[in-house]
Copies of this chain bind each other. A is one copy, B any other.
Amino acid sequence: MADSSTCLPLVPQSVTDAHTKIKEHIHRTPLLTSKTINDIASSPDPAIYLSDSIANPSKPFDSEHTDGVPKFNLFFKCENFQRIGAFKARGAFYAITRLIDTMTLPVLREKGVITHSSGNHAQALSLAAHTFKVPSYVVMPQISTSSKVLGAKRYAKEVIFSGSTSHEREAAMAQVQARTGAIFVPPFDHPDIVLGQGTVGREMSEQFQELLVDEKAQLDAVLSPIGGGGLLAGIATWFSDKETTVFGAEPSFQGADDAKRGRRAGSRITSVRSLTIADGLRMPVGLVNWEIVRDKKKVEEIYSVSEDEIKMTMRLVLERMKLVVEPSACTTLAVVLFNPDFRRLVAESQNGRPWNVGVVFSGGNTTVKIISTLFADDDASPKEKS
Contact = CB atoms under 8 A, between A and B. Distances in A.
Interface stretch (A15-23, A65-73, A133-141, A375-383): A375-383
Contact of A368 (B145, B374, B383): B374
A78 B229 CA distance: 34
A345 to B, nearest CB: 31
B368 A319 contact: yes
A151 interface: yes
Nearest to A384: B369
Contacts of A351: none
Nearest to A156: B57
Contacts of A376: 372, 376
Contact of A364 (B322, B372, B386): B322
Nearest to A374: B368
A153 B56 CA distance: 8
Given A55-B153, A55-B154, A383-B146, A368 B371 contact: yes
Interface in A314-337: 314-315, 318-319, 322-325
A35 to B, nearest CB: 10
Nearest to A152: B55
A81 interface: yes
Nearest to A319: B367
Contact of A57 (B153, B319, B372): B153
A267 interface: no
A54 interface: yes
A224 interface: no
A55 B81 CA distance: 18
A55 B151 contact: yes
B369 A371 contact: no
B146 A386 contact: yes
A91 interface: no
A150 interface: yes
Contacts of A386: 146
Contact of A375 (B145, B150, B154, B371): B371
Given A318-B324, A367-B381, 11 more contacts: A55-B150, A146-B383, A150-B383, A319-B324, A323-B323, A368-B371, A368-B375, A368-B378, A369-B381, A371-B371, A372-B372
Contacts of A315: 367-368
28 contacts: A53-B146, A54-B150, A54-B151, A55-B151, A55-B153, A56-B150, A56-B153, A57-B153, A146-B384, A150-B383, A314-B368, A315-B368, A318-B368, A319-B366, A319-B367, A322-B324, A323-B324, A367-B384, A368-B371, A368-B378, A368-B381, A369-B375, A369-B378, A369-B384, A371-B372, A372-B375, A372-B378, A376-B376
Contacts of A85: 322
A205 interface: no
Nearest to A54: B150
A371 B384 CA distance: 13
A369 B386 CA distance: 13
A374 B371 CA distance: 11
Contacts of A383: 146-147, 150
Contacts of A115: none
A80 interface: yes
User: Which of A53, A322, A371, A372 is packed against the most chain B CB atoms within 10 Å?
Assistant: A322
Contacts of A146: 53, 383-384, 386
B367 A53 contact: no
A57 B281 CA distance: 29
A30 to B, nearest CB: 8
